[in-house]
Chain A
Amino acid sequence: MMRRRSGSLNTAAVLSLCAAFFLLAMGLAVMASGVYRSVVSASDLDYTRRTALGYLVNQIRRGDVAEGVAVGSFGGVDAIFLTQDEAGSRYTTCLYCYEGELRELYVDASLLGDFSPSDGIAVLPLSSLSVRLSDGVVNLEAEDEDGVRSSVSVAPRCGVWEAGS
């Protein structure tokens, strides 16, 4: 009788230890997945901030020459126009957001009106881009696929003007 009771106690102890193993392992796995999700989410947000806005700011700085930077509308969407002289002709790089993508269109400046936003080359995913000009400062506000908005401003040294197409 005593021996049988001792055997059941041993079995119960082993089972409870196994249950403790299981609970600890499950807790660690749940915690790890939660941390992974939050890290990936933060990384995505940083990606939009750093990549999309950083790309636009650097493009504006690259095109910062006299009469080189303009902001306005291209086919109904906010856009940045960077104009430069090349081999005697004027070419415009147009940066805008269209159908969930940040796009870039490089064309002869005089032919820009013949193109539509769908003609641009997709650079990276972006939900929306707002471009505003106030007191010589270009204010950029981007919204990523999760609806998180990030903004940054840049003041071109050679000036900026409003344009339209």
Chain B
Amino acid sequence: MKKPVARPVLLLTELILDLFIFVVCTAVCAGLLVKARGMSRDAQQLTAAVAVAQTAAENLRAGASVSSLSGLGADGGYAVEILDRGAGDGASGYEITVSYDGRAVYTLETGG
């Protein structure tokens, strides 16, 4: 005949299983929260980068030189790289790339 398991042992086993499930759920939730924070930061950087690229494009349209726009967005930590597509291959317009921490955040191609 089987020996009955003591009630405290059953209670402990149940609590340990509950804790394990809770830890798994917590890990999933924490992952989602970290992802949400990352997405929010990316959205913030994208919005700022679009404004910087727009400012560069509008200045180029008004006749500013590429070299005069190199420091655009620097106060917010953004770097602007402007490629003059009319310089060699016959196409016209500019390719404006805005980077943050060395990572390209937004690229804007302007027409001729």
Contact = CB atoms under 8 A, between A and B. Distances in A.
Interface of A: 6-7, 10, 13-14, 17-18, 20-21, 24-25, 27-28, 31-32, 35, 38-39, 42-43, 45-46, 49-50, 53, 57, 135-137, 150-155
Nearest to B16: A17
Contact of B30 (A10, A13, A31, A53): A31
Contacts of B54: 57, 152-154
Contacts, number: 81
State the main secondary structure of chain B at its contact with A.
Answer: helix
Interface string B16-51: 101100110010011001101100110110011001
B36 A137 contact: no
Interface string B50-76: 010011001101111000000000000
B102 interface: no
21 contacts: A7-B8, A14-B15, A20-B19, A21-B22, A28-B30, A31-B33, A35-B36, A35-B37, A38-B40, A39-B37, A39-B40, A43-B40, A46-B43, A46-B47, A49-B48, A57-B54, A150-B48, A151-B55, A153-B54, A153-B59, A155-B62
A24 B41 CA distance: 26
Given A21-B18, A32-B33, A39-B36, 8 more contacts: A35-B33, A39-B40, A49-B47, A137-B59, A150-B48, A153-B54, A153-B59, A155-B58
User: Number of contact residues on B: which range applies?
Assistant: 20 to 34
Interface of B: 8, 11-12, 15-16, 18-19, 22-23, 26, 29-30, 33-34, 36-37, 40-41, 43-44, 47-48, 51, 54-55, 58-59, 61-64
A35 B33 CA distance: 7
A152 B58 CA distance: 9
A10 B12 contact: yes
Contacts of B61: 155
Given A32-B29, A38-B40, A137 B58 contact: yes
Contacts of B33: 31-32, 35
Contacts of B59: 137, 153, 155
